Structure 1
Amino acid sequence: MQNFEKRRDRYDAFASFENPLVNLSFELEVPEFRPYCKQHGLPPFHFFLYHVLHALQGIDNFMYRIHKGEVIKIDDFWASYTVLNQDQNLNFARFEMTEDLKEFIARSVAAKEFAEASEKIVNTTAKLSEYDQRRNIHITCMPWLKLSSIEHPIYEHKSYDIPSLAWGRFSDARDDGKLTMNMSVQAHHGFVDGYHIHLLAQAIAAGIAKTIAS
């Protein structure tokens, strides 16, 4: 928590706001990874999700939470994201994170299939402890749309501390070996500035580059 103490005054300032959230939408540029996924039999969405979540885990500012009125730093979080079930209604996939890429993807695919098959909403945080409810990242992908911005539903803005990420469809392959998608990152401004979102974008791209080069 040493890093947080250096910005506690910023947190105190934003925590007094009725709505302390910052929400940035931007074009994320990453190495074109779909040929790698095709070569290795990996679903591109789950491959990309792996790198997004592990990039978040490596930046302290996205790991701060408010628990029982105090700021804490969580050690890890659930891997979770929205899916559509067979009725085309919203549902939630959730599974335990892992460093191993193939195991992560296997768990992610299994969680997706379970959520898709359920008529009732599953994997909400209602039955989790107050602490485990903080161990979360909200992820949604809308592959049908070229996302420009998003406003997430918030129960209470003032105490909302869980980062929310969304992205739209991937661009076509580019001649320079890159692809892009529009991404939105929302977080408590007491924890996260635009600079940290920039660091996240860099970390996602670097993680993908490292994987496809190996």
Structure 2
Amino acid sequence: MQNFERRRDRFELFNRMDSPAVNLSFTMDLPDFRPWCKAQGLPPFHVLLCAVLRSILKVENFRYRIFEGEVICIDRLTPSYTVVNQHHDLNFAQFAWSDELREFVARSLVAREEASSMAGLNDTYQGMSPRECKNQVFVTCIPWLDFTSIQHPMASVGSPDIPSLAWGKFRNGANGRLQLPFSVQAHHGFVDGYHIHHLAQTIAAELSELMS
């Protein structure tokens, strides 16, 4: 927590505000990992999800949370994301973390199928303790849209300490690159524009590492 203590004054500044959230949407530039995924028999969304969550764990500012009135730093994540069921209503897929890519993807696919087959809302997250809930990052994918902004719902406007991430439609970039709209919402007491930039760079590096 030494790094947080250096910015505790920034945290206290933003945390006094009615809404301390920073919300930034931008075009993410990545190596085009889709051909590699096809050769490996892996679905691109789930590979990107793995890269994004691994990157969250590597950028400390995205691991800060508020619990029982104090700032903590989590050291693990519970992967979860939105899916669409047969009625075109959203649901939540959630599964246990794995450090191994193929096992991560396999668990993610099982969770997706379970959640997408439910008519009612998947409420497995309600079985989590208040402390376990802090191990989440909220992830949604809107693959049909090349969006330019998004506003995520928050249980408490005054405490947006769990980051919310979203990405949209893939499009071909120049020189074998891939571009997509990407959005990050987080507590401004923890995260500045630089940290969002650093997260984007880390995701690109993580994908390159997976493919190497």
- Counterpart for residue 5 of structure 1: 5
Deviations 1:64-118 (A, max 9, x none): 0000001001111110000011111110000111111100000000000000111
**Structure 2 residue identity aligned to 1:153:** P
* Structure-1 separation of matches of 2:38 and 2:46: 13
Moved more, 53-62 or 147-156: 147-156
Partner of 1:101: 101
- Long gaps (5+) in structure 2: none
Over the matched positions of the two proteins, sequence identity in percent amounts to 50
1:126 to partner: Cα distance: 2.7
Q: C-alpha separation between the residues in 1 aligned to 2:151 and 2:186?
A: 12
In 2: Cα distance, 1:41 partner to 1:178 partner? 20
Q: Who is 2:183 aligned against?
A: 184
- 1:1-214 equivalent positions in 2, closer than 5 A: 1-123=1-123, 125-172=125-172, 174-212=173-211, 214=212
RMSD (Å), alpha carbons:
1.0
Structure 1 outlier segments of 4+, above 2 Å: 123-127
**1:129-161: CA deviation from partner (whole Å, max 9, x where unpaired):** 110111110000000000111011123211221
Q: Using the alignment, how far apart are the partners of 2:154 and 2:66 within structure 1? A: 16
**1:155-211 CA deviation, whole Å, 9 max, x = no partner?**
321122100000111003x44010000100000000000000011000000011122
Contact 1:93/1:123 (8 A) holds in 2: no
Take 2:122 and 2:179, find their aligned partners in 1: how far apart are those partners?
31
**TM-score between both structures, scaled by the size of structure 1:** 0.96
Following the alignment from structure 2 to structure 1, what is the Cα–Cα distance between the partners of residues 196 and 29? 13
CA distance, structure 2, for counterparts of residue 16 and residue 175 of structure 1: 44
Q: Distance in 2 between matches of 1:168 and 1:98?
A: 25
Measured at CA, do residues 20 and 74 of structure 1 come closer, stay the same or move farther in structure 2, by a change above 3 Å? same
Q: Aligned partners of 1:125 and 1:104: how far apart in 2?
A: 19
Instruction: Count residues with an aligned counterpart.
Output: 212
**Aligned letter for 1:181?**
L
Q: Distance in 1 between matches of 2:116 and 2:126?
A: 20
Which stretches in structure 1 are left out of the alignment for 5+ residues?
Answer: none
Normalising by structure 2, we get a TM-score of: 0.97
